[in-house]
């Protein structure tokens, strides 16, 4: 009797285990189906963004070699277009410019003197030509000798030669004035290159050099932010890069506390994929491709240039 009861209980337990196993398999199947369904619906792409001006962050360079004599615009100072940001030492170039400028008045005076001499010489030439005409009449009436007539003609020839030579000298002197003007312009251009100016209205963010430092062309001196709207530059993973389009809405959030700091609109999508580069200082072993996306932020966004933020782009 005991044996029969034990067998029956064993059968009941086995049936219960089979039933539970079947239910668990059904639950797993339903769970997987639900997960697959959820994964199929993608309405948002998330990336890490950097805040910068719409025109981009600009580096400050010098156009000439020299020692920085003065930094005029301090960090965080707003400047207008063409404002001096810094000056290179220009004593030698100022001295050379002064030398060229001093040549101009002397050359003008020399030209004026030559022109006055030419005017007097032209008057003598015209008188000598009248004398020749008169002497020809006198010679025809046998009032003067042929030698006197020839002497008057020789005088005209000599005066004509002197006048032509003087006029050629005046042209040459005028060319020297043009050369002096060109030298002055050249010296002024060199001096202008020693003035580091802003290409746009904006703000000086930082200086990488100090007064007294020697700099060369192509050396980065600092960083400048042009005035204008701010954008969030982010990178979208290659798996979702084809889902982003211009005009899509986006939001940016603080990485520290997740607080929403602004909204914007996608205005630019790169036409190619590239390696991750936005935050290249981060150590990573991934070799994924990304697509650069720029979001124009609304004016009320509470951000600062070079902020690192989370960016959500809504695909609907």
What is the reported pLDDT for 2? 42
268 and 129 share a domain? no
233 and 302 share a domain? yes
CATH number at residue 271: 2.40.30.170
What is the reported pLDDT for 264? 96
183 and 125 share a domain? yes
Q: Contact at 8 Å (CB) between 313 and 295?
A: yes
Show the low-confidence residues of the chain (pLDDT under 50): 1-23, 25-26, 29-31, 35-38
What is the reported pLDDT for 288? 75
Measured distance CA(204)–CA(60) in Å, rounded:
9
70 and 212 share a domain? yes
Q: Contact at 8 Å (CB) between 315 and 43?
A: yes
Q: Which long-range CB contacts under 8 A does 172-178 form with residues at least 24 apart?
A: 173/107, 173/110, 173/111, 173/114, 174/111, 176/107, 177/104, 177/107, 177/108, 177/111
Average pLDDT of the chain, as a whole number: 86
By C-alpha distance, which of 77, 46, 70, 98 is closest to 311? 46
Q: Residue written as tokens 């025109």?
A: 55
What is the reported pLDDT for 142? 87
Select from 193, 210, 243 the last residue of a domain.
193
Instruction: Give the sign of the dihedral formed by CA 2, CA 7, CA 12, CA 16.
Output: positive
What is the reported pLDDT for 132? 94
pTM of the model: 0.63
232 and 140 share a domain? no
Q: Contact at 8 Å (CB) between 239 and 228?
A: no
What is the reported pLDDT for 316? 79
110 and 78 share a domain? no
By C-alpha distance, which of 67, 89, 85 is closest to 76? 85
Phi, psi of 110 (to 5 degrees): -65, -40
What is the reported pLDDT for 278? 62
DSSP E strands: which ranges in 97-211? 195-197, 202-207
Measured distance CA(45)–CA(237) in Å, rounded:
9
136 and 263 share a domain? no
Instruction: Give the sign of the dihedral formed by CA 261, CA 266, CA 267, CA 273.
Output: positive
Helices and strands per DSSP (H, E), number in the chain: 3, 15
118 and 182 share a domain? yes
Instruction: Give the sign of the dihedral formed by CA 66, CA 72, CA 76, CA 80.
Output: negative
172 and 251 share a domain? no
How many domains are there within the chain? 4
Q: Contact at 8 Å (CB) between 56 and 163?
A: no
Across the strands, what pairs with 111? none
30 and 107 share a domain? no
What is the reported pLDDT for 251? 96
The residue range of the domain holding 209 is: 63-84+201-223
Task: Give the distance from CA 119 to its chain's centroid.
Answer: 55
Q: What are 267's two structure tokens?
A: 């205005």
pLDDT in tens, 74-125: 999 999 999 999 999 999 999 999 999 999 999 999 999 999 999 999 999 9
pLDDT in tens, 127-168: 999 999 999 999 898 888 999 999 999 999 999 999 999 999
153 and 9 share a domain? no
Q: How far is CA 22 from CA 17, 35, 129, in A?
A: 9, 20, 135
Measured distance CA(149)–CA(135) in Å, rounded:
6
For strands 202-207 and 220-226, give the pairing. antiparallel
Task: Give the distance from CA 302 to its chain's centroid.
Answer: 27
CB-based contacts of 185, cutoff 8 Å, min separation 6: none
Q: Contact at 8 Å (CB) between 86 and 231?
A: no
Tell me the chain's radius of gyration from C-alpha atoms: 44
């Amino acid at each position: 009797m005991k044996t029969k009861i034990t067998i029956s209980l064993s059968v009941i337990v086995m049936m219960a285990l089979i039933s539970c196993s079947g239910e668990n398999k059904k639950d797993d199947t339903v769970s997987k189906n639900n997960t697959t369904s959820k994964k199929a619906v993608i309405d948002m792409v998330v990336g890490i963004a950097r805040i910068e001006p719409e025109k981009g962050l600009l580096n400050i360079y010098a156009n000439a070699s020299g020692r920085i004599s003065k930094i005029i615009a301090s960090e965080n100072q707003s400047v207008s277009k063409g404002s001096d940001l810094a000056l290179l030492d220009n004593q030698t170039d100022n001295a050379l410019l002064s030398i060229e400028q001093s040549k101009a008045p002397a050359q003008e005076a020399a030209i004026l003197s030559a022109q006055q001499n030419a005017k007097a010489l032209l008057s003598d030439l015209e008188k000598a030509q009248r004398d020749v005409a008169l002497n020809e009449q006198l010679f025809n009436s046998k009032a003067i000798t042929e030698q006197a007539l020839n002497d008057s003609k020789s005088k005209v020839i000599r005066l004509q030669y002197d006048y032509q030579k003087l006029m050629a000298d005046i042209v040459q002197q005028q060319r020297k004035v043009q050369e002096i003007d060109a030298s002055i312009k050249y010296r002024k251009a060199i001096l202008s290159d020693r003035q580091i100016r802003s290409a746009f209205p904006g703000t000086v963010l930082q200086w990488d050099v100090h007064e007294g430092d020697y700099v060369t062309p192509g050396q980065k001196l600092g960083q400048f932010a042009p005035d204008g709207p701010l954008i969030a530059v982010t990178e979208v993973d290659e798996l979702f890069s084809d889902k982003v389009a211009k005009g899509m809405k986006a939001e940016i959030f603080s990485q520290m506390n997740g607080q929403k700091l602004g909204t914007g609109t996608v205005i630019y999508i790169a036409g190619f994929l590239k390696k991750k580069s936005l935050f290249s200082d981060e150590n990573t072993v991934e070799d994924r491709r990304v697509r650069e996306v720029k979001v124009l932020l609304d004016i009320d966004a509470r951000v600062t240039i070079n902020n690192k933020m989370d960016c959500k782009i809504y695909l609907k």
